[in-house]
Structure 1
Amino acid sequence: MPILSGQIVTAAQLNRMQPRPHHAVGSGTVVGPQTNADVPGASVTVTAETAGARFTAVCTWDTYVTANTTGTWLGRMMVDGVAQTPVATMNEPSTPGRAESTQTFSGTLTAGSHTFKLVTSPNANQTTTGVNCSILVTIYEVV
């Protein structure tokens, strides 16, 4: 959005020029087996004022294994119910352990309201600890 010489700049134009961060921390645990279960509390709703607004997101999941298990834990970020790529993963099949898995995302939004949330897919003997999970979404109206 160029600002022309002599142009009267509005507050709305200036507001769209600054990045807007939105942050949430989870509030509960998810015990496996589950598939794409919401991490309680790890959700933010944002409003994009313009079509083509960009977002970046940094997401962290905390998952631990309590006993032998099979399969790989998966963490995803959903935008308006659609799973985004890439996927966060952890594989500790034979001994108890813990991992903080982080993944980054970016994309483009239409104008309007959008919900970003963390989901988790723990296997048997895997638990995702929501109070150690977080999502940070930053909206850029002007690119």
Structure 2
Amino acid sequence: MGFLAGENITAGRLNRLQPKQYFAQASGTLGASQTSQDIPGVTVTFNTEQPNAIYTAHLVTDFDWDGGTTSLASSRIKVDGAFPINLFAVAQMSITTDRATNGQNYRGTLGSAGSHTITAVGTTSANQMINFYSSLLVVVYEVV
């Protein structure tokens, strides 16, 4: 959003012009046979100054197998404790030594100003885990 000719410009509005980035990397692994559990360390918490800020998020998940399986492993984001959209990063490997680093993108609106938390959540079955090379990049665009 631009500024109109003759309009008073405040420092707060100018500060909101620049998008803010937040990054988190896994601090541990998510073991086998988990359902919708937080991936250790892949969480960002931040504050917005105005309602209706827009966020984009890029989740990268390191799926690792101890044994072959036909089950699907997945990850997605949780925003302020809820799942805003059903977009998953998924992987399915049938050989013991398989490994994949898969990503997914997200975009949404944060309805209220204040503190927000975005967390990566994973689901694994037997012989699957989510490993250390998982990360989350969030960019927040404030309303000017």
Instruction: State the TM-score bracket (shorter-chain normalisation).
Output: over 0.9
Once residues 58 and 26 of structure 1 are traced to their aligned partners in structure 2, the CA distance between those partners, rounded to angstroms, is 14
Once residues 16 and 26 of structure 2 are traced to their aligned partners in structure 1, the CA distance between those partners, rounded to angstroms, is 28
1:90 to partner: Cα distance:
0.4
Unpaired segments ≥5 residues, structure 2: none
1:69 to partner: Cα distance:
2.0
Which of 115, 125, 128 does residue 127 from structure 2 map onto? 125
Question: TM-score, normalising length from structure 1?
Answer: 0.92
Q: Quick check: 1:70–1:123 contact (8 Å CA) kept in 2?
A: no
Unpaired segments ≥5 residues, structure 1: none
**How many residues of Structure 1 are paired with residues of Structure 2 in the alignment?**
142
Once residues 43 and 95 of structure 1 are traced to their aligned partners in structure 2, the CA distance between those partners, rounded to angstroms, is 29
Amino acid at match of 2:29: T
Q: Does 1:99 find its partner at 2:100?
A: yes
Cα-to-partner distance string for 1:90-116 (whole Å, 9 max, x where unaligned) = 011344300001000001112221100
Amino acid at match of 1:29: T
Alignment of 1:18-33 (within 5 A): 18-33=18-33
Which aligned segments of 4 or more residues in structure 1 are displaced greater than 6 angstroms?
Answer: none
Equivalent position of 2:13 in the other structure? 13
SS at match of 2:56: strand
Alignment of 1:34-113 (within 5 A): 34-83=34-83, 84-110=85-111, 111-113=113-115
The range that moved more, 86-95 or 31-40, is: 86-95
1:70 to partner: Cα distance:
3.4
SS at match of 2:30: strand
Q: Does 1:116 find its partner at 2:118?
A: yes
Once residues 89 and 48 of structure 1 are traced to their aligned partners in structure 2, the CA distance between those partners, rounded to angstroms, is 30
Question: TM-score, normalising length from structure 2?
Answer: 0.91
Once residues 102 and 117 of structure 1 are traced to their aligned partners in structure 2, the CA distance between those partners, rounded to angstroms, is 15
Once residues 92 and 137 of structure 2 are traced to their aligned partners in structure 1, the CA distance between those partners, rounded to angstroms, is 25
